[in-house]
Copies of this chain bind each other. A is one copy, B any other.
Amino acid sequence: MEKQVTIYDLARALNLSTATISRALDDSPLVKPKTREKIRAMADKMGYRQNLIASNLRKQQSRTIGVLLHEVNSYFSTSVLAGIEKITTREKYDILIAHSGEDGEREIANTRNLFNKRVDGLIVSLAMSTVATDHFNPFFEQGIPVVFFDRVAKKMPCNKIVIDNFKAGYEATTHLLQQGYRRIAHITASLQRNVYEDRFRGYKKALTDHHIRFDPLLVESCSLNREDTLAVMHQLLKQKPDAFFITNDFAAAVCMDELQRSGIRIPEDIGMMGFNNDILGSLINPRLSTIDYPGTRMGETAAQMLIDKIKTKKNGKATAEHKSVIISSTLLIRESSVKKARQRRGHK
């Protein structure tokens, strides 16, 4: 391992001070253009690379943002990441991604770790099994900006980016009702999480608004993985539902597949409605109706909001305000929920 070239080496080689070198490499207007050129040239020649660790120590910053996700293996998660990355790249921040695998304990460990890493800010979507939120206190106490997105803690006073899950759940259910479905089963996940609870409330409200009695037997909650989803689906089938509103496209696709393989026609016998607009839904037959969930925009908004907070904090202005941004989602009606005549593939 060769020795790294430092600004001291450059200073010595050029008979200048490290201060000038540092300024030049930072494009400071304080240094004469000619000097700067000389320094740049020498830096190139000697193979100099800035040591960001030293720089960060000195500047008391990491120029790194922590991203705490519940999972990374969904289309939604990667969309959000893409959005975050777009902004952070532009603003020259790095991101440290930690995911909890839906486990509250791991979320706590990850939070601690990111804190120790001195991230300049944190973007979070809560794990399924998270209960308390004390593990974020160190951030609040140190005034390190935190932005929650999607799965947020309801009563926590801080910045949030969400969609209107209540409205989306309401619209999805209403659409199914308008298509003539009457016994709409709902597969959801932990009602501790705002997203699922709000959608569930939307579902109930839509039912009552259409004078349909809410039947608790038509609702099951599970982890949303393949196995669990199929188990609760079979459970719900005993209640003879004529439609499913499933809070996640992957789970909906799993159900559709299973139902179709047992001879049930979709949407004729059973209507199907997902949530999230995973690409998956556009590749199955019939195409899955869903709620379009703007992951990339959420990520962009969260990152921009966080970086703005970091910047204003640097300027000494403590911003105690806690903005909540609601990103608009839209009902995407495709084939799985529309009863009227439709061209089935393979039967031209």
Contacts and interface: CB of A to CB of B under 8 A. Distances in A.
Interface of A: 1-2, 4, 47, 49-54, 56-57, 62, 72-73, 75, 78-79, 81-82, 85, 94-97, 99, 113, 115-118, 138, 141-143, 250, 253-254, 257, 260-263, 265, 279-280, 283-285, 313, 343, 345-348
Most chain B beta-carbon contacts within 10 A, residue among A4, A257, A346: A346
Given A141-B2, A257-B283, A346-B260, A53 B57 contact: yes
A346 B96 contact: no
Closest 6 CB pairs of A and B: A263-B348, A1-B143, A73-B78, A260-B345, A261-B345, A253-B283
Most chain B beta-carbon contacts within 10 A, residue among A2, A79, A283: A283
Nearest to A280: B280
A118 B253 contact: no
Contacts of A53: 53, 56-57, 62, 117-118
B73 A94 contact: no
Given A53-B118, A97-B97, 4 more contacts: A4-B142, A72-B78, A262-B348, A280-B280
14 contacts: A1-B313, A2-B143, A47-B138, A49-B115, A49-B138, A52-B116, A57-B57, A72-B81, A72-B82, A97-B97, A257-B345, A260-B285, A260-B345, A260-B346
Contacts of A284: 283-285
A115 B82 CA distance: 22
Contact of A96 (B79, B96, B115, B345): B96
B117 A52 contact: yes
A120 to B, nearest CB: 11
User: Copy number of this protein in the oligomer?
Assistant: 2
B346 A265 contact: yes
A118 B51 contact: yes
B57 A54 contact: yes
Contacts of A73: 75, 78-79, 82
Nearest to A63: B117
Nearest to A253: B283
Contact of A283 (B4, B116, B280): B280
Contacts of A283: 253-254, 257, 280, 284
A254 B342 CA distance: 20
A313 B280 CA distance: 44
A142 B1 contact: yes
Contacts of A52: 116-118
B82 A346 contact: no
Contacts of A262: 348
A82 B79 CA distance: 17
A260 B116 CA distance: 54
Contacts of A99: 85
A310 B116 CA distance: 23
Nearest to A97: B97
A94 B143 CA distance: 24
A7 to B, nearest CB: 14
A117 B1 CA distance: 17
A267 to B, nearest CB: 12
